[in-house]
């Protein structure tokens, strides 16, 4: 069973919005959740992470003010609301889980995740 399954990717124009979802089969009280992305020819980078209770989010500078991470532990789902999208946001977006939580450190060390989803493509056209 795949523990993390993303959905919600697609193609939008600059300035548009998308909402990504990540359905998890992991125990929400154990794992912090995060969103990472990888553009073609580039390394995977952190976008946002959130604590087990959903009260403490961390954002990469590129996401601050435009993206919002949230989680609904009753549904065991994590969301990434992306507004004011730019062409440089294009890439494959991955949901990840980590225990113990890594906060902003985890954003800079994506390889230290415990679980990964299969990814969902986001394309922003100019």
- Pick 27 or 2 by higher pLDDT: 27
**pLDDT tens, 20-73?**
999 999 999 999 999 999 999 999 999 999 999 999 999 999 999 999 999 999
pLDDT of 1 higher than 80: no
Q: Where are the beta strands (DSSP E) in the chain?
A: 4-7, 10-13, 18-24, 32-38, 45-50, 57-59, 67-72, 77-82, 91-98, 115-116, 120-125
Q: Which residues contact 18 (CB under 8 A, 6 or more apart)?
A: 8, 9, 10, 12, 82, 85, 122
pLDDT at 102: 87
């Amino acid at each position: 069973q795949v523990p993390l399954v993303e959905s919600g990717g697609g193609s939008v124009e600059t300035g548009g919005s998308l909402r990504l979802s990540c359905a998890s089969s992991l125990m929400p009280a154990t794992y912090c959740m995060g969103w990472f992305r990888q553009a073609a020819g580039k390394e995977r980078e952190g976008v946002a992470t959130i604590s087990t209770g959903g009260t403490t989010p961390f954002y990469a500078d590129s996401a601050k003010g435009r993206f919002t991470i949230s989680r609904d532990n009753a549904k065991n789902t994590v969301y990434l609301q992306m507004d004011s999208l730019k062409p440089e946001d294009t890439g494959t977006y991955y949901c990840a889980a980590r225990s113990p939580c890594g906060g902003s450190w985890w954003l800079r060390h994506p390889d230290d995740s415990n679980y990964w989803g299969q990814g969902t493509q986001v394309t922003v056209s100019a």
